[in-house]
């Protein structure tokens, strides 16, 4: 029974496990977002933004608990090379990091003396630099943050180099940049634009940016794909370069050439996803009120040696 899948291309067939089912692991959030898998703890953290809390799913016993409340309306998360959680905080309008001692440390709050809008999603490049999107969703309303006046006058993608303290806007041609992810060799940065929420008729697309030889600047190249259902919000790239993207009714999977090769059907609006599990072959999906998962025959880009996984 492949009812949880829609296979549109043979390339998707080999990424699926025929008898693996979509599981709803938990429900009870208002807007689930920002999943991040913590290998050392064998748990998943994710955001429930309107309730201003982080939730934790324990892979060992399947339990869900509240990891933290009053967390500055955190949205997107990622891990750095040390296994620390890096977070986008809507109401504090900053990027922070959960240090090994258990305290959150603010990493960046301003650009050229102006406060960030409301950082949304974040990735860490292999050189340790932090790349993040900064749309206005967290300051648009009191639902996912706090109403506030934007100071920068645009929604950009930034690169932050903690070693030097330098932050630079690397993409300034999007309306509301949202999810982002590098290709496996980091030669491409993919960024979704959900600006149709603010500008009628704007394409709901994932854009392709080439990373320059210096590894610091970007050149716009093309559109990878446009979304026929809702928005591309968060997404991840697997080790073969396929893009696993959220949408209103499914996880949409695109080949690197932009072909929609398949969908994993989800009964709620999908916001984001990430690969987890000891072998990183479990796709965790945040969708509106719930956390879902499904086992797949795919692994995340940038994955080093892991028990049970051959390179």
* Known binding residues for substrate: 120
User: Cα–Cα distance between 72 and 207 in angstroms, integer?
Assistant: 29
Active-site residue (options: 233, 238, 240, 249): 233
Rounded (5°) CA angle 300-174-166: 75
User: Cα–Cα distance between 234 and 255 in angstroms, integer?
Assistant: 17
Active-site residue flag, 101: no
Residues tagged in the binding site annotation for a divalent metal cation: 33, 178, 233
Q: Which long-range contacts (CB under 8 A, 24 or more apart) does 241-245 make?
A: 241/183, 241/184, 241/301, 242/11, 242/15, 242/298, 243/181, 243/190, 243/206, 244/273, 244/283, 244/298, 245/179, 245/192, 245/206
Torsion, CA 216, CA 302, CA 207, CA 266, rounded to 10: -150
Residues with a known catalytic role: 233
């Amino acid at each position: 029974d492949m009812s949880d899948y829609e296979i549109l291309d043979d390339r998707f067939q080999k990424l699926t496990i025929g008898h693996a089912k979509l599981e709803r692991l938990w429900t009870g959030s208002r807007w689930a977002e920002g999943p991040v898998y913590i290998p050392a703890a064998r748990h998943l953290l994710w955001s429930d933004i309107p309730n201003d809390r982080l939730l934790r799913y324990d892979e060992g016993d399947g339990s869900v608990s509240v990891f933290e409340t009053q967390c500055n309306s955190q949205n997107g998360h990622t891990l750095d090379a040390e296994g620390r959680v890096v977070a986008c905080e809507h109401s504090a309008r900053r990027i922070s990091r959960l240090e090994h001692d258990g305290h959150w440390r603010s990493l960046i709050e301003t650009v050229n003396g102006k406060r960030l809008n409301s950082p949304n999603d974040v990735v860490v490049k292999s050189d340790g630099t932090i790349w993040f999107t900064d749309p206005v969703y967290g300051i648009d309303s009191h639902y996912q943050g706090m109403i506030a006046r934007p100071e920068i006058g645009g929604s950009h993608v930034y690169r932050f180099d903690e070693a030097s303290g330098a932050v630079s806007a690397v993409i300034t041609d999007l309306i509301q940049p949202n999810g982002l992810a590098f290709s496996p060799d980091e030669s491409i940065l993919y960024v979704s634009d959900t600006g149709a929420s603010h500008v009628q008729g704007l394409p709901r697309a994932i854009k392709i940016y080439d990373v320059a030889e210096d590894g610091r600047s970007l050149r716009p190249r093309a559109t990878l794909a446009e979304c026929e259902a809702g928005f591309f919000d968060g997404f991840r790239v697997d080790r073969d370069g396929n893009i696993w993207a959220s949408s209103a009714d499914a996880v949409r999977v695109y080949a690197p050439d932009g072909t929609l090769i398949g969908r994993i059907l989800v009964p709620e609006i999908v916001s984001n996803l990430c690969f987890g599990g000891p072998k990183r072959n479990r796709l965790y999906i945040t969708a509106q009120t719930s956390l879902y998962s499904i086992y797949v025959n795919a692994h995340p880009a940038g994955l080093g040696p892991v028990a049970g996984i051959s390179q």
